[in-house]
Structure formats: structure tokens, C-alpha cells
Structure 1
Amino acid sequence: MSGEPRALDAEELRRVCEVVYRRTGMTYGEAKRYFVERRVLDRMARSNSGSFAAYMALLRWDDGEVERLINSFTVNETYFYREEHQLRCLGGSLLPDIVGGRRPGALVRIWSLPCSTGEEPYSIALWLLENWRLVDAYNVEIVGSDIDTDALAAAAAGIYGERALSRLPAGVVADYFEAPVDGLRRVIADIRESVKLTRANLIDAASMAEQGRFDVVFCRNVLIYFDDASRLAAARLLFDALNPGGFLCLGHTESMARISDLFAVRRFGDAVVYQRPPVA
């Protein structure tokens, strides 16, 4: 690209951050200038935009380019069995509470949002198979959703390196992953097929509602990128996504109590979670 700019000026930075904010709720600014510039200049080059003005014009009519820009901004740093204490809480406290009034064979829905490159929802599937004795007694549906279409494609492929697998017991790796090829292992087909992958936007009511309601939602380490208004909007949609009595699990640095009073705080032995109050 000829005449490629070396940096974005303050107004250009503000405008592109506004595009990302309106679509995702994620806030960026001068404090994240290097992060933003790298991604915007890369997308400008890849889209053959001769100037920042031309790129902004492209974003106004090309939804595919907006999607690619947003994909470049998402952070997909995760690994299997991250925040394992929440998985223990899921099997030891949350699911027993949920299925207590249901007959065997009843549907239990668990949502991982954002699901990143798949480690999070596949971790739920593996943990339940290994640790929840009633896993075969109920119809457990696990859904993984993300706004990043590249991350969803990687989740569907289900291929992971040593770092992603480092927290898994050796027996779990041996039982649920194919033999390594060039240092990478693929989750076996049975596990990949047990997780439904969908695109969803945490601040878009329509895409959230399309997923239906869930008994447990894992929404970890994304609200830290939102401002207060986006957090509140997300909290309302997460509340609507839960069945009455359902549970929300956030990242260890996040607190719904500081965002919204819709949820009841529940403290279990393994984790603090947030509950949509049951119907009286």
C-alpha cells in the first residue's frame, strides 16, 4: 500500500475505537494506542485501503471487513481447565442444584461465552465426563459462542498445542485427544460433536436471544474490556439468557455485584457465582 501512515492521529484513533465499541462494547483509547494501531494498519494494508479515510469508508459498507477488524481485536488467550475451581463448582454444586427437581433425561444447557478457540467449552465437556457421575443421566447440551469467527473456526478444528493442554491430566489427554502430529493434538470427534458452536455478540440482544436460555453460563474475562454502560447492557442480556435459578460464572477479577443488582450472589465452597433468582 503506497503512502501507508506511520501512526493514527488522535481523531483517527477515536473514530476506529468508536466503530469497535459500537459493535462489541469493548473500549480502547490512547492507553491501548499500540494495540489498536497495529491491527488497524494491518487491516488497511490487507484491504488495499490507500488511506485511513478510504478504510473508514470501506467499513461503512463492507460488513465482512468490519468482522475481520473485530476478529483482530479479540483476545483469545486461554487453555484447558482454566479456573478449574469453577469446574469443580459446576459438578459439585451448580448442577446438583439444577437437576434436583428434574427427572433423569431432562435437558441441561451450559453456555460458554466467549468460547474463544474452544478450550473453554471442551473443558466443560471433559470435566463432566470425568467427574460428574450423573453426566449420562441427563441430556447435557454445551454451546460455545464467540463474536470472533476466526476463533470459532479454530474451535471447530479442535487442534491444540502443548501449552493449551498443560493443565490436563495425562490420562485425559490420552483418552480424549488424537495422537500428536507435529506437536499438536486434536480433540476426538465425539468431544467436538458434543459442543455446538455459534456466533453471538454479548451486547447484541438479537444474537443473544437466538441462543435460547441456559442453566449455567460461563462468561469469563470479557467484561473487563467493557465500560460501565456496556457492562450493564451485557448483564441484562446475560440475565435474560438464564433460566430462573440458573447460574452465571465470571472471571476471577470480575464482580457482577458491582455491575447489576439483578443477580443474587451465591458463595459455594469452590467458587462465587451469580444466580438468576428462582421463580417464587
Structure 2
Amino acid sequence: MNADTPLLSKEDLGRLTDFVYRRTGMRFEKKKRYYVERRLAERMAATGSRDFADYQSVLRLDGAEAQRLINSFTVNETYFFREEHQLRCLSRSMLPEIVRTRRPGDLVRIWSMPCSTGEEAYSIALWLLENWAMVDVYHIEIVGSDIDTNAIAAAIEGRYGTRALSKLPPEVVDGYFESEAHGTREIIDDLKESVKFVPCNLADEGAMATMGQFDVIFCRNLLIYFDEESRKLAARHLHRALAPGGYLCLGHTESMNRISDLFELCRFPDAITYRRC
């Protein structure tokens, strides 16, 4: 494949992007042809498919290959303490408001989705351990989920390189990660046990329903890949996944006000969030 010889016809490109859209809610337009074809070429090579028609047959017969194709389209670029202002807001504003009516030992649930390779969810655990004095007073449950099953496997393993750790204070790295081995450092077991990782698809109503309700949901930089219809569907699913009065945190370029009226805008000193109405 090269830039002058498209791997897919216009019709086949539409079929493939529609398949991904139905499974994920992510819409890839024509200008993303190279991105789409590059990932398709990798999967065709891995399955020994001669052409797209051959690969379609594989997809119809092999559910695991359909998941591998979806995995190839996800973006897992992240690092620890990304958008730190939201973590400050979590410990200074959102959680104090949530536990105002809770008793010691009560459950507080926090969901990171998409969690990528674990940095997003582990960041929440690290931040609370270091910055919220009440962390041991309540039963804090942190769940990380992603549609990419490879990312979930990496999160459970919990090994990270220098770039992923670059925003963490040295004392935090030394306190919560094993010594460096082969260019990576592994999260200590106690921290691994504080976060549960499961695959979940925001566009799948049934999968979302199995997760229950949360007090805080971090859903950052995912809706930018959705079209208007998918965003509205995602908003309804996120609304149902929040406990009454729960908070939603989006990426800095995302705004729920342009998507749904199911949430109330909350301007805290550290960050803007959205509360379930």
C-alpha cells in the first residue's frame, strides 16, 4: 500500500468505518483514510487476508478479530497526572461535597473511562493517597475501563516508562513504583489492588448498565471522536451511570453544554465539571 494506491475503494472504506462506528461510536471521516487503511493493512497481514473481501469474511467468523480491529483504532496516548487541575478539584471540591452526607466507611465510587493503559485510573488513586486526608475514612472504589482489551491488559500489568512517569514528583515514583527494570517501573502491588480494570464500551447500553452508578466519572478526550448522534447517546449513558448529584469530568476541549441538558455546569476553583441533574 502507498499513497497513490488506496487499499480500499470508496464503498469499502464506508463499510469499514461504518463497522467501527457501530461498534464504538467513533466516526472516521474520509480525511482519515490513511489512518484507517494503515490499521486495516496491519490486521489483514496478521490474518493472512488477500483483500478486504477476504478480511470481511474473517470478521464475520471471528469475534476475537473484530475486537483486535477495534483495539487497533483506539488512541492510548496519556501519562500520569494529566490535567492535574481536575485531580485537585476532585480532592478539594467534588469529594468533600459528595461525602458531606456520607458516614465513615461508606462507599464512594470513581470511574475512569477510557482509562487507556492505566495511567488515568492509577493517577486518581495516587492523587488521593497523597492529597486527600480523608482517603482512609471512606471505602473508595476506583474502576478503570476501556474498549481496548490490550490497554486493559497493560493496565493490569502496571508497567510504565519514563515519559508516562515524567509529571510525577520523584518521591511519588519512588514510593509507589518498583525499581526500574528494562526501562520501566512497575506499580507496587498495594496500589494495583486499589484499582479494578474491566473492558467497557461507552456506546453499548448493556455494557454500561452492568457497571452500576458512580459518584465521579472521568471521561476525558473520548467524545471528540464521536459525531453528534454518538455524543448524545454517550451523554444519556453517562447520566445513567452517575449517582444523583454525581460529577462528570470531560477533557479541556469538550463541553457537555453543547451536547445535553441532563447535566448542570459546576464552576469550582480548580476546574469546570458537570453534575447530574
TM-score range, shorter chain: over 0.9
SS of the residue corresponding to residue 94 of structure 2 reads helix
Distance in 2 between residues matched to 1:88 and 1:207, nearest whole Å: 30
- Matched to 1:106, the amino acid is D
Distance in 2 between residues matched to 1:219 and 1:155, nearest whole Å: 17
Q: How does 1:46-195 map to 2 (within 5 A)?
A: 46-195=46-195
* Structure 1 residue 30: Cα displacement: 1.3
- Matched to 1:58, the amino acid is V
- Matched to 1:253, the amino acid is T
Distance in 1 between residues matched to 2:48 and 2:128, nearest whole Å: 47
SS of the residue corresponding to residue 140 of structure 2 reads strand
Q: Tell me the C-alpha RMSD between the 2 structures.
A: 0.8
Distance in 1 between residues matched to 2:21 and 2:61, nearest whole Å: 17
Unpaired runs of at least 5, structure 2? none
Distance in 1 between residues matched to 2:260 and 2:73, nearest whole Å: 26
Indicate the larger mover: 83-92 or 49-58: 49-58
CA contact (8 A) 1:117 1:151 kept: yes
Give CA deviations for 1:95-149 in whole Å, capped at 9, x if unaligned: 0000000101000000000000000000000000000000000000000001100
Tell me what 1:36 maps to. 36
* Structure 1 residue 10: Cα displacement: 1.1
- Matched to 1:144, the amino acid is G
Q: How does 1:199-238 map to 2 (within 5 A)?
A: 199-238=199-238
Distance in 1 between residues matched to 2:17 and 2:135, nearest whole Å: 44
CA contact (8 A) 1:213 1:243 kept: yes
- Matched to 1:228, the amino acid is E
- Matched to 1:93, the amino acid is S
- Matched to 2:175, the amino acid is D
Give CA deviations for 1:43-64 in whole Å, capped at 9, x if unaligned: 0111111211111122123111
- Matched to 1:229, the amino acid is E
SS of the residue corresponding to residue 101 of structure 2 reads coil
* Structure 1 residue 182: Cα displacement: 2.0
CA contact (8 A) 1:109 1:141 kept: yes
SS of the residue corresponding to residue 100 of structure 1 reads helix
Runs of 4+ in structure 1 off by over 6 angstroms are none
Q: Aligned pairs, how many?
A: 273
Tell me what 2:266 maps to. 266
- Matched to 2:138, the amino acid is Y
Distance in 1 between residues matched to 2:243 and 2:143, nearest whole Å: 15
* Structure 1 residue 229: Cα displacement: 0.3
Distance in 2 between residues matched to 1:173 and 1:42, nearest whole Å: 36
Give CA deviations for 1:191-245 in whole Å, capped at 9, x if unaligned: 1111000110001011111111000000000000000000000000000000000
* Structure 1 residue 6: Cα displacement: 5.3
CA contact (8 A) 1:13 1:29 kept: no
Indicate the larger mover: 26-35 or 214-223: 26-35
Give CA deviations for 1:242-278 in whole Å, capped at 9, x if unaligned: 000000000000000000000000000000000012x
Unpaired runs of at least 5, structure 1? none
Distance in 1 between residues matched to 2:249 and 2:208, nearest whole Å: 17
Distance in 1 between residues matched to 2:228 and 2:189, nearest whole Å: 40
Distance in 1 between residues matched to 2:6 and 2:44, nearest whole Å: 12
- Matched to 2:55, the amino acid is Y
Give CA deviations for 1:32-78 in whole Å, capped at 9, x if unaligned: 11110000011011111121111112212311111000000000000
SS of the residue corresponding to residue 254 of structure 1 reads coil
CA contact (8 A) 1:220 1:251 kept: yes
TM-score with structure 1 setting the length:
0.96
Tell me what 1:250 maps to. 250
- Matched to 1:166, the amino acid is S
Tell me what 1:9 maps to. 9
- Matched to 1:216, the amino acid is V
